[in-house]
């Protein structure tokens, strides 16, 4: 059954990523998350994460077989599919495009809710959007898109750009525009218009001047304060008891569940009102047990509920 499920996934991936709408029978045993990171030069980094639950020994054996053929069979098929899709989009938009930098990985993740087989695909789509102060996203989706039930599409845009329009409206806006399945997108959808925000030179200069004055004044204040009183080290937070730690871990899991399954570590610290070290220790314990994943996002950790 799992081998058949992987074949269904391959067909679903072909139909979805070939940018043509279609209808597939929903299989609740797996989910797919498509993440598209738009860059300022118009290229887009695609991530495709396929997750399926491994219930029986037959499931695990089938996933192992799939993983062994990932780079020799499935990745070349995926690469060929996306290159053909980029070529078709080039014809439709008259804009040069190419798909490069393909990679894939597979892993088994164990959590309190069970074991999951996870497959990752990624590549870069050059020419995905026309760069400029205004960027239009969506013309590469020549035939539209289809999301099965429990599948997710995430579109992230460059820093310094704001969303002017997004059609259809996303189901959620958090670290990008998010749509959930089951749903069908029409030709050229989702259609997103981004605009780069410009700051007048004079306003920027005034703002920088104010910041410099504030920093210098604060530095002078600290120097005088230390000379008078001396610097006092911050008192460490009182250690929590085992019951308090367990309660905190349960609270963190509830916060993640109520916010779509993921939050930044700084957000969790703010919501709990506890010291960073206390929250960090609880997250490390949850991570070691496989209850959460830590994903590095710049200088922050994105905590994802498994």
Where do the domains of the chain lie? Answer: 2-196, 242-305
Cα–Cα distance measured from residue 157 to residue 159, given in angstroms and rounded to the nearest whole number: 7
Q: Over the stretch 58-103, which tens digit does the pLDDT of each residue have?
A: 999 999 999 999 999 999 999 999 999 899 999 999 999 999 999 9
CB burial readout 249-275, b (16+ within 10 A) else e: beebbebbeeebebbbbeebbeeeebe
Closest to 144 in 3D by CA, of 89, 199, 105: 89
Checking if the pLDDT of 5 tops 60, the result is no
Q: Say how far apart CA 301 and CA 266 lie, in whole Å.
A: 8
**Which DSSP symbol is given to 20?**
B
Of 142, 158, 201, residue with least CA distance to 36: 158
The residue ranking higher by pLDDT, 177 or 296, is 177
pLDDT greater than 70 at residue 10: no
Helices assigned H by DSSP within the chain: 2-17, 57-68, 75-93, 201-229, 242-258, 265-272, 276-288
Across the range 28-41, mean pLDDT stands at: 88
**174: nearest Cα among 286, 296, 267, 305:** 267
Q: Which residue has the tokens 């004044």?
A: 217
Q: Which has the higher per-residue pLDDT, 18 or 285?
A: 285
DSSP class of residue 298 equals: T
The predicted pLDDT at position 20 comes to: 31
Q: Which CATH architecture has domain 242-305?
A: Orthogonal Bundle (1.10)
Contact 45, 37 (CB under 8 A): yes
- At residue 36, φ and ψ (nearest 5 deg) are -120, 115
pTM score: 0.59
What pLDDT, in 10s, does the model give residues 185-218? Answer: 998 899 999 999 876 555 555 666 677 766 767 7
Residues near 28 by beta carbon (within 8 Å), at least 6 away in sequence: 149, 150
Three-state secondary structure along 79-143? HHHHHHHHHHHHHHHCCCCEEEEEEEEEEEEEECCEEEEEEEEEEEEECCCCCCCEEEECCCCCE
Give me the percent of the chain exceeding a pLDDT of 70.
79
Closest CA to 117 of 61, 168, 173, 53: 53
Give the pLDDT of residue 38: 96
pLDDT in tens, 94-116: 999 999 999 999 999 988 878 89
């Amino acid at each position: 059954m799992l081998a058949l499920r992987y074949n269904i996934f391959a067909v679903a991936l072909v139909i979805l990523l070939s940018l043509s709408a279609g209808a597939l029978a929903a299989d609740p045993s797996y989910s797919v998350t498509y993440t598209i990171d738009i860059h300022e030069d118009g290229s887009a980094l695609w991530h495709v994460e396929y997750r399926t639950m491994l219930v029986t020994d037959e499931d695990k054996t089938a996933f192992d077989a799939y993983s062994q053929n990932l780079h020799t069979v499935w990745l070349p098929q995926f690469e060929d599919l996306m290159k053909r899709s980029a070529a078709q989009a080039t014809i439709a938009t008259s804009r040069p495009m190419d798909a490069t930098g393909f990679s894939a990985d597979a892993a088994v993740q164990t959590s309190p809710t069970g074991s999951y087989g996870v497959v990752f695909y990624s590549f870069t789509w050059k020419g995905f959007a026309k760069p400029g102060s205004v960027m239009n996203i969506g013309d590469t989706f020549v035939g539209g898109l289809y999301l099965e039930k429990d599948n997710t599409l995430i579109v992230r845009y460059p820093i310094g750009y704001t969303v002017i329009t997004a059609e259809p409206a996303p189901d959620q806006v958090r670290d990008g525009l998010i749509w959930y399945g089951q749903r069908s997108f029409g030709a050229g959808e989702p259609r997103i218009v981004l605009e780069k925000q410009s700051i007048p030179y004079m306003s920027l200069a005034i703002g920088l001047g104010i910041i410099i004055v504030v920093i210098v004044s604060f530095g002078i204040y600290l120097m005088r304060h230390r000379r008078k009183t001396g610097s006092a080290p911050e008192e460490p937070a009182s250690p929590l008891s085992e019951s308090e730690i367990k309660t905190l871990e349960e609270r963190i899991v509830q916060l993640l569940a109520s916010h779509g399954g993921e939050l930044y570590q700084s957000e969790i610290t703010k919501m709990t009102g506890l010291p960073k070290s206390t929250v960090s220790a609880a997250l490390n314990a949850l991570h070691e047990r496989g209850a959460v994943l830590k994903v590095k996002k710049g200088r922050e950790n994105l905590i994802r509920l498994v």
